Structure 1
Amino acid sequence: MESRKVYIHDVIDHSRIGRAQYVALALCALLMLSDGFTTQAFSYIVPVLANDWHLPKSILGSIFSSVLIGLMIGNFGISPFAKRFGTKKMTVWSTAAFGLFTLLTVFVTNVPQLIALRLLTGIGLGSAVPCAVGLTSEFSPKRTRATFVLLIYVGYSLGFTVAGFCCGAMIPRFGWTAPLWVCGLGPIVLTFLLIPLLPESASHLARHRSQKDLLQMARRFFPKFNLPDGAVLTSNAHKNSDGAVSGLFSARLRVGTFLLWVVYNINLAEFYFLQSWLPTFLHSLSYSPRMVVWVTAISTVGGMAAGLILGPLMDRFGPYIILSALFLFGGISMLAISMALGATHFLLVLAAFCCGACTSGGQKGIVALAALFYPADLRAPGVAWASGIGRLGGAGGTYLAGVLYASNWRPEDIFRVAAAPAVVAAIFVGFMGWLYSGDGSLPSSALTQDS
């Protein structure tokens, strides 16, 4: 007689949220904060470094893009390793790696060394994010999944904001290497918290570990959980997908996968363009260092504000209509910045806030959409591959802005060009919403048969 199966993700979906889940959420949020801090700090370091080393404009795009290429490699490379060794273990190793390589950046003496270490740092950063998102979404009940994923991304935006004020306080007094010590030591300390406190993926435990390990994890989250006599605890992933990356291209998911990739590309191009180049543009327009920090930081504050309200809105009204409206407003905000450059400081700060709310908030929203769209065993690879493909847009958009800047385009003209892709993203999200229902299934008219 076949044993009755109890699915761990059904237990998570229908149980009250416990303390262990909040601890996991907090650790993932801290990881995202550290990731955001490390990513953004260099945007403030580069203008100072360029002056100290007398670097030409043409090399700045390569410096900015190197970490984004590393992020892409990390996004692509993490899926098979996470599947084999476990998401928790790869989270720990990724966090330790980007902390160590950031510390080594303190000692660089030339541009090739700098680019190489930024590339390696990016690999660690790119590996950590999908692991954090995958674990958060897996241990969140479906009713609050978008909210929880967006909450940890608020940590990412908070890291961007803290990086601005930290760099503004430290660089004038101690030089451009000072923030790198914080960027490096923080993740290493966090690693020692992740090892004992972060739980392993339920899907990985069900696939590679014993029934005892999975049951122990369930009781860690839900102390009163009792497995019925004769029942077997397993993962929902086994009934929903094969867990392989090829599952992203099944008949039910392939259209949504490609649409997600396009939107990821566009939004990451907009996001990294804004965060990487805004400090440099403001510096070139002779804004004071204090104003550079405030305007750039306020854009990430906008992203945090958006993150706090997007989750409940997406859980209540669905992700497609909310994200489509957000991206459309993002295009308008890019135009607003182009007009605010050289205007009053208040208008520039307001435009930066709105633009950050749309680009940074949109990034949080599209990650939450991916977590909602894919079944449990495909969430980590789904987010990782979408992020990895998106890094092409992030690196390309950042590099293209560098080419235009080196060709003496005015910053306001570059922002006008950047407005159009945001509108395209709004259209694609709306199209995805037309094709898909809230649970990710295609209507019969759009569904194609596997060959």
Structure 2
Amino acid sequence: MERSDNKHSVITVAICFLIAVIEGLDIQAAGIAAAGIREAFGLDSSQLGVFFSAGILGLLPGALIGGRYSDRIGRKKVLIWSVAVFALFTLCTVWVNSFNSLLLVRFLAGAGLGAAMPNLITLASEAVKPENRGRAVGLMYCGMPVGAAILSYIASLDFGSDWKNIFYLGGLLPIIVLPIMIKFLPESREFLKAQNTTQTTTATTQGSFKDLFNSQNLMRTCLISVSYFFTLMVVYIMLSWLPSLFMELGFSRKEGSTAQFFFMMSATVGTIVLGMLTDRWKKAYVIILMYGGILAGLFCLNAASSLTQMYLASALVGAFVIGCQGVLYAFGSIVYPTEVRATGVGMASAVGRVGAMLGPTIAGQLLAAGFGAAGVISAAIPCIVISAVFMLILVRRLQTSA
């Protein structure tokens, strides 16, 4: 029985890891293809910020719908449909011929990816014992920076010189993964158990949005959602604008891409380590470590004066910014019970996506207004402080109610 459980866990986390790799490819795709898209469509910095935000905006309704239906019809079904939608509209990106149609297909691709994320988190967390959920989500979500690092490397080759190739790759890979998901991905046993309980007792165990705001979950939902909002705002500023910020500071495009590669490679390690610490340490210590690390990285980016210092600062920011996002997803799976877990994670993710959408747009406006890279980095610091405070309050409330 234990061997069967281990096999179930390994297969689930491995397939979810593959989907997270594809998410990383897509997140990085916008930044890498930005120069080619700017030239092809004649965009300025402000319009480029809107382009970055279009896909992120799609993540918002996607996360809400994906999480909600996951608690109704199953994690596996919703994940398969989500990946299929994402693949279709990512391929459509290369065939559009106007700025508005470009924004539309990026929005719809983002919706597919947004619907996938609550299911990835929920499947990974429910595939293991409760005491191992942080590790499982960390191992799954480290696929995101791995995918982004892979695309950063590909972009340095001749293949990456044409922006359309980036989206061909991003659309075809999920199509290849779909049959693997259909054949090998197991449904969550916790979901099946909850569903069987529903059928046996004729009670409604499937959660709804209103359950997130009952007396037990209201403060949890508010606290984790605000933290998601400000953390993802900073995450997506870094993901979308880091190479451009390097160029604003006087470095070359190639050096900016190299910084992004260091950012993503360290993010892979940070996501795994912080996920493991979430299971082993007191939660408050993990919160203090990861937000303290982000602040240290942002200060180092502002203060660095040489290329080596910039690379080190990028690695420091990457380890904690992306690792922090993985920990927040793990917290979402810990905060909510099975019957509303995907709905709760979807809600928090959707609120976070509002921050993620606003972040690159605000950064673009700051750059267009002449504040420069230092102004963008400084604007991110208060967001991190607010996120840390709200997460510490949430941890304290969880401990009190335990």
TM-score higher than 0.5 here?
A: yes
The alpha carbon displacement at 1:171 in A equals: 5.3
Aligned partner of 1:376 in structure 2 is 338
Report if the CA contact (8 A) 1:39-1:160 is conserved.
yes
The alpha carbon displacement at 1:27 in A equals: 0.4
Matched, 1:31 2:9: no
The alpha carbon displacement at 1:85 in A equals: 2.9
Percent identity at matched positions?
A: 27
Aligned partner of 1:124 in structure 2 is 112
Matched, 1:199 2:158: no
Aligned partner of 1:365 in structure 2 is 327
Partner deviation per Cα, 1:39-83 (whole Å, 9 max, x = no partner): 211111112321344321221111011011101110112133223
Aligned partner of 1:245 in structure 2 is 209
Distance 1:124 1:420, change over 3 A: same
Aligned partner of 1:271 in structure 2 is 235
Matches within 5 A, 1:2-401: 17-170=5-158, 173=161, 175-206=162-193, 243-340=207-304, 343-401=305-363
Distance 1:239 1:84, change over 3 A: closer
Matched, 1:404 2:366: yes
SS at match of 1:140: coil
Calculate the TM-score normalised by the size of structure 1: 0.84
Partner deviation per Cα, 1:399-448 (whole Å, 9 max, x = no partner): 111111111211112111211211221222222222221xxx627xxxxx
The alpha carbon displacement at 1:172 in A equals: 5.6
The alpha carbon displacement at 1:268 in A equals: 0.2
Amino acid of the structure 1 residue aligned with 2:345 = V
The alpha carbon displacement at 1:270 in A equals: 0.5
Calculate the TM-score normalised by the size of structure 2: 0.93
Report if the CA contact (8 A) 2:198-2:204 is conserved.
no
Report if the CA contact (8 A) 1:299-1:354 is conserved.
yes
Amino acid of the structure 2 residue aligned with 1:191 = L
The alpha carbon displacement at 1:189 in A equals: 0.7
Write the distance in 2 (CA, Å) between the matches of 1:54 and 1:298: 30
Matched, 1:442 2:389: no
Distance 1:430 1:239, change over 3 A: farther
Write the distance in 2 (CA, Å) between the matches of 1:105 and 1:376: 37
SS at match of 2:95: coil
The alpha carbon displacement at 1:335 in A equals: 1.9
The alpha carbon displacement at 1:251 in A equals: 1.7
Distance 1:365 1:238, change over 3 A: farther
Report if the CA contact (8 A) 1:321-1:433 is conserved.
no
Aligned partner of 1:428 in structure 2 is 390
Report if the CA contact (8 A) 2:272-2:323 is conserved.
no
Write the distance in 1 (CA, Å) between the matches of 2:225 and 2:293: 20
Write the distance in 1 (CA, Å) between the matches of 2:158 and 2:186: 36
Identify unmatched segments of 5+ residues in structure 2: none
Partner deviation per Cα, 1:167-192 (whole Å, 9 max, x = no partner): 2224564x111111110100011011
Q: How many residues align?
A: 402
Write the distance in 2 (CA, Å) between the matches of 1:379 and 1:332: 33
The alpha carbon displacement at 1:203 in A equals: 4.8
Write the distance in 2 (CA, Å) between the matches of 1:41 and 1:94: 19
Report if the CA contact (8 A) 1:58-1:403 is conserved.
yes
Report if the CA contact (8 A) 1:105-1:180 is conserved.
yes
Write the distance in 1 (CA, Å) between the matches of 2:382 and 2:296: 9
Write the distance in 1 (CA, Å) between the matches of 2:373 and 2:308: 18
Larger radius of gyration: 1
Write the distance in 2 (CA, Å) between the matches of 1:185 and 1:70: 20
Amino acid of the structure 2 residue aligned with 1:352 = S
Report if the CA contact (8 A) 2:68-2:346 is conserved.
no
Amino acid of the structure 1 residue aligned with 2:329 = V
Report if the CA contact (8 A) 1:325-1:426 is conserved.
no
SS at match of 2:207: coil
Distance 1:22 1:368, change over 3 A: same
Identify unmatched segments of 5+ residues in structure 1: 1-10, 212-232, 444-451
Query: Which is helix-richer, 1 or 2?
Result: 2
Aligned partner of 1:216 in structure 2 is none
